[in-house]
Every structure is written in structure tokens, then in C-alpha cells.
């Protein structure tokens, strides 16, 4: 009989030292779920649960929501919700390389999956098999969107009986999942350089954050700088300069024909929500381990004294003020304070307005455009096959 209960691992964040695995491994040997005649290896079970609990733990930042879904034929499955829902399915490959073809086809042919996570033992055979299957998919022309696949390689000699190895591999895998699934997909590819480019602004403190907030929460799309200038009581020139910086960060996008319309991007909305979380937690005097982990992914570090120094120098710029991780964090928090006090932006609850692009996808712009795109794809494919 299959066991009715299975141990739930407990992955914890340590504020300074990174990850600890807590009770991740406790009783896994005695509590592995048994399906049919062959139980999954403890390495297989550990790795699958590490992925799901990384996503669960970081959802406590309130930057997104995560709910585990029915596994069906997958090793793990869930739903990542940030502006819209992104179903995730995943498989873990450890001992049975003969199942690579089936694993990949099961995930990539799932019509609902937007993210396909594959945790795989790093062997030459496994890499060759995955490469061959993906090449077959691309050559077939099947509408499977291979870019949905994210492979996380695990050293082939990993032994889940070794506590030091569990800690090392758990930390490494969790970091990879947080970077590749959260930062690159769910958070719109928010990077450390985006944040640094944002804080390099000098002049009127907090105006660029106020502009981003105004655009992200506006019931109508902005098309004229003077409308924003009137709302924020700033000059059109100052607004234009901030718009260019926000476009450079990727926090805003512009589209339209004769009239250019401006809207906040997914990355910009995530950044605003991160600012909101920082603004709520700083007065308490401590940051949660989950927010500290997000800051680490953005190469930021929190030091209260840096906030004080930054508050007096927001009108200035320079490497000391905008490149040192503690000073970048301090400058960001001081910018939030300036935007809140001067323009009254409310970061406790940000009611984002999400606009669909009015421009159709490139492949939907007529048969002539479609023919050009297809011709270019056929031409580039020949170089890939060399």
C-alpha cells in the first residue's frame, strides 16, 4: 500500500548566512511516498521538494503568490500568480535516464504549463539526451515553445545521506530557482543593474519613483509629459528626464503610432511592490528573511547607517553613493521616503492598472510580415544546424 502521509520539508532562510535546510531531510528515508513497486530515491525526493519549498517560502514576500497544484503525472506542480497566473510543472531526473524523452514531452506538450522545470543529474548522457529531444522539438515545428523549459543541473555524485552535501545542494538549487524562475520570469527579469540605474538619478529627490507610481496606477494611459508634470507639480523637462531613466530601467514601456502612450511593465510593477515591502518593514526595525533573500538576488545589502547617509545626499550622484550595495539600498529607501512625503504616494496598497498592448504580435500583422518572419527563421535555422 502507498503511504498516506509524507514528510513536509522545512526550508528556512538565514538572514546573513544564506540558506539552511532545517528539517528538509528529516525522515525522508522513512517517509518516501511509495508508488507501485519502485520508490523514488531520497535524492529525487529531496530535489523535488527543494524547488516547491523555495517558491513557497519566497511567496511570503507578498511580491507574488504560489499554490501547489495537482501533480498529475509530474514530480511537482504549482501555480505562480503575479498579475496573472503562470502554471508550473516539473520533473526530477536522477537514476532513470531512459525517461528523459518522456519527461520532456510530458512537460512541453502540456497545454497549460507556462514554466517547465527539469531538475537533472549532471551527466554527459543526460545532457546529450536532453539536447537531442529539444532539437527534435525545434525541427518538428510543433507549437511547444521550448523556451518554457528551465533545466537545473545537479552534480552527479550528490549524496542525500551527507548533511553537508544536502545543505550545499539545497542552497545552490534554491538560488538557481529563485534567479531563473522568479527574477527572470515571474518578476519580468528584474536585475541588480536595473536598481542601480534607477538610484543613479540626482536632482529632485523621489520624483522618478513618483512618476513610476503615477503611471502604474493611472486609470488612463499618459501620452503627454505636461499631464504628468501638472499632476506632480514639476516641470515638463524634469518629467521627460525621469521618463527616459525609467524606460532605460525597463520599468516603463511606450507604444502607439502617432501618439506615444506610456505604461508600467511587469518589472516596474514588481519594483514598486518591492519598494512597498521595504517601506512597511523598515519602521519595524528588521527585514524578513525572505525580503533579505530578494535583496541578495539584487546584490543589495541593508545597513541602517547607509539610509541616514543617503538621505542627505539624494541630490548628488557618484560611485560611493550609487555602487556600494549598502548605499544603493540606503539610497532606494531614502528615495521611497522622499516620494512618500513630497508626493503622498501610498505604497501600503498599490492598485496597479495593467494595460494590454494595443499593438498586435509581430506574427499577426498580415501575411507579408508573416512570410518575412518565417523566411528569417528558416535562414537562421540553417546556421544552428552547422
What is the distance between the alpha carbons of residues 326 and 161, in angstroms, rounded to a whole number? 38
> What are the pLDDT digits (tens) for 20-37?
333 333 333 333 343 443
What confidence tier does 361 reach under pLDDT thresholds 50, 70, 90? low
The contacts of residue 263 (CB under 8 Å, 6+ apart) are 215, 221, 252, 253, 254, 255, 355
Q: Provide the greatest CA pair distance for the chain.
A: 73
Arithmetic mean of pLDDT, 204-208 = 92
Q: Is there a contact between 211 and 242 (Cβ–Cβ < 8 Å)?
A: yes
Q: What secondary structure letter does DSSP report for 263?
A: E
Three-class DSSP category at 87: strand
For residue 252, the surrounding DSSP H or E stretch is: strand 252-255
Nearest to 38 by CA among 90, 76, 94: 94
Q: 305-358 pLDDT, tens per residue?
A: 999 999 888 888 788 888 899 999 999 999 999 999 999 999 988 999 887 654
User: In 218-360, which ranges are continuous DSSP H helix?
Assistant: 225-232, 236-249, 266-281, 289-297, 304-311, 319-322, 325-343
Locate the domains of the chain by residue range: 12-186, 192-343
**Among the ranges given (29-38, 126-135, 211-220), the one the predictor scored with the smallest mean pLDDT:** 29-38
Give Cβ neighbours of residue 80 (< 8 Å, ≥ 6 apart): 55, 64, 65, 66, 86, 87, 88, 115, 181, 186
Task: Kindly report whether the global pTM for this prediction surpasses the value 0.85.
Answer: no
Q: What is the CATH code of the structural domain delimited by 192-343?
A: 1.10.10
- The three grid cell numbers given for residue 224, joined into one nine-digit string: 503627454
Q: For 168-195, how does the pLDDT look when each residue is reduced to its tens digit (9 = 90+)?
A: 999 999 999 999 999 999 999 999 999 9
Amino acid at each position: 500500500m502507498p503511504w498516506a502521509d509524507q514528510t513536509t520539508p522545512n526550508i528556512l532562510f538565514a538572514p546573513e548566512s544564506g540558506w539552511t535546510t532545517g528539517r528538509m531531510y528529516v525522515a525522508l528515508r522513512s517517509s518516501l511516498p511509495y508508488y507501485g513497486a519502485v520508490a523514488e530515491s531520497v535524492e529525487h525526493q529531496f530535489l523535488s521538494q527543494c524547488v516547491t519549498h523555495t517558491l513557497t517560502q519566497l511567496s511570503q514576500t507578498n511580491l507574488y503568490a504560489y499554490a501547489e497544484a495537482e501533480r498529475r503525472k509530474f514530480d511537482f506542480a504549482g501555480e505562480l500568480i503575479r498579475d496573472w497566473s503562470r502554471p508550473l510543472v516539473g520533473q526530477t531526473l536522477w537514476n532513470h535516464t531512459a525517461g528523459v524523452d518522456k519527461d520532456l514531452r510530458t512537460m512541453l506538450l502540456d497545454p497549460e504549463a507556462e514554466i517547465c522545470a527539469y531538475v537533472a543529474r549532471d551527466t554527459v548522457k543526460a545532457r546529450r539526451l536532453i539536447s537531442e529531444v529539444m532539437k527534435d522539438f525545434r525541427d518538428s515545428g510543433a507549437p511547444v515553445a521550448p523556451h518554457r523549459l528551465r533545466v537545473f543541473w545537479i552534480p552527479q555524485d550528490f549524496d542525500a545521506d551527507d548533511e553537508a552535501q544536502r545543505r550545499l545542494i539545497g542552497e545552490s538549487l534554491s538560488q538557481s530557482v529563485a534567479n531563473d524562475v522568479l527574477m527572470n520570469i515571474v518578476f519580468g527579469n528584474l536585475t541588480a543593474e536595473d536598481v542601480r540605474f534607477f538610484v543613479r538619478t540626482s536632482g529632485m529627490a523621489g520624483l522618478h519613483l513618483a512618476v513610476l507610481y503615477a503611471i502604474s496606477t493611472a486609470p488612463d494611459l499618459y501620452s503627454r509629459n505636461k499631464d504628468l508634470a501638472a499632476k506632480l507639480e514639476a516641470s515638463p523637462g524634469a518629467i521627460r528626464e525621469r521618463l527616459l531613466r525609467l524606460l532605460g530601467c525597463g520599468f516603463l514601456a511606450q507604444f502607439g503610432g502617432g501618439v506615444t502612450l506610456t505604461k508600467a511593465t511587469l518589472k516596474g510593477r514588481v519594483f514598486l511592490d518591492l519598494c512597498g515591502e521595504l517601506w512597511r518593514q523598515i519602521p519595524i526595525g528588521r527585514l524578513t528573511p525572505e525580503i533579505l533573500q530578494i535583496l541578495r538576488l539584487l546584490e543589495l545589502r541593508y545597513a541602517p547607517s547607509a539610509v541616514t547617509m543617503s538621505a542627505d545626499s539624494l541630490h548628488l550622484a557618484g560611485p560611493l553613493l550609487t555602487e556600494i550595495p549598502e548605499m544603493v539600498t540606503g539610497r532606494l529607501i531614502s528615495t521611497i521616503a522622499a516620494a512618500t512625503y513630497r508626493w503622498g504616494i501610498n505604497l501600503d496598497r498599490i492598485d496597479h492598472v495593467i494595460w494590454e498592448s494595443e499593438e498586435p504580435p509581430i506574427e499577426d500583422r498580415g501575411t507579408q510580415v508573416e512570410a518575412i518572419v518565417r523566411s528569417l527563421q528558416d535562414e537562421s535555422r540553417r546556421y544552428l544546424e552547422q
